Amino acid sequence: MYTPPQTGPLAGHLRRVSTLAREIAARLRLRPTDVDALAEAALLHHYPAEVLEPEPLNRLLADLRLGSPHGAASAFPPRRVRDVLERFHAGRSANAAHLLAQIVQVADFFDERLEFFSFEPMNFEQIIDELDWMAKDGFLDPAVVAALAGLPQVRMHELLEQVHRLPVFPAVLLRTLEITADEDSSFSRIERIVRSDPVLAGHLLRVANSSLYSPLRPIASIPQAISHVGLDTCRKVMMASVFQPLFSSTPLRELWRHSLAMARLTEGLAQLCGRFDPHEAFLAGLVHDVGRLALQKLRREYVMDYQRLIEGGCEPVFAEMLLCGFEHGAIGAEILRCWTFPEHLIEAVLRHHRPELGDSLLASALYLAENLSGAREDIASPARMDLAHARLGLASEIPEGEGPPDPGWLDFLVSAA
The CATH class, in words, for 171-415 is mainly alpha
Segment 229-233 mean pLDDT? 84
pLDDT of residue 170 exceeding 60, the answer is no
pLDDT of residue 405 exceeding 70, the answer is no
Segment 366-377 mean pLDDT? 92
What is the pLDDT confidence band of residue 367, given thresholds at 50, 70 and 90?
A: very high
pLDDT of residue 407 exceeding 70, the answer is no
For residue 55, what pLDDT is reported? 66
pLDDT averaged over the chain?
A: 81
CA 10 to chain centre: 18
What is the pLDDT confidence band of residue 56, given thresholds at 50, 70 and 90?
A: low
For residue 287, what pLDDT is reported? 92
For residue 80, what pLDDT is reported? 72
Distance CA 351, CA 319 (A): 17
Return the percentage of the chain with pLDDT > 70, whole number.
77
SS3 359: coil
Contact yes or no for 400/371 (Cβ under 8 A): yes
Contact yes or no for 38/30 (Cβ under 8 A): yes
Distance CA 100, CA 340 (A): 49
pLDDT of residue 395 exceeding 90, the answer is no
Segment 357-374 mean pLDDT? 93
For residue 338, what pLDDT is reported? 82
pLDDT of residue 400 exceeding 80, the answer is no
pLDDT of residue 51 exceeding 90, the answer is no
For residue 130, what pLDDT is reported? 94
For residue 54, what pLDDT is reported? 62
DSSP per-residue string spanning 318-376? HHHHHHHSS-HHHHHHHHHHHTT--HHHHHHHHTTT-GGGS--HHHHHHHHHHHHHT--
Distance CA 271, CA 2 (A): 49
For residue 116, what pLDDT is reported? 75
HSE-up of residue 180 (Cα within 13 Å, Cβ side) = 25
Higher pLDDT, 404 or 334: 334
For residue 90, what pLDDT is reported? 67
Distance CA 107, CA 8 (A): 19
Domain boundaries, the chain: 8-151, 171-415
Rg (alpha carbons) of the chain, rounded to whole number: 26
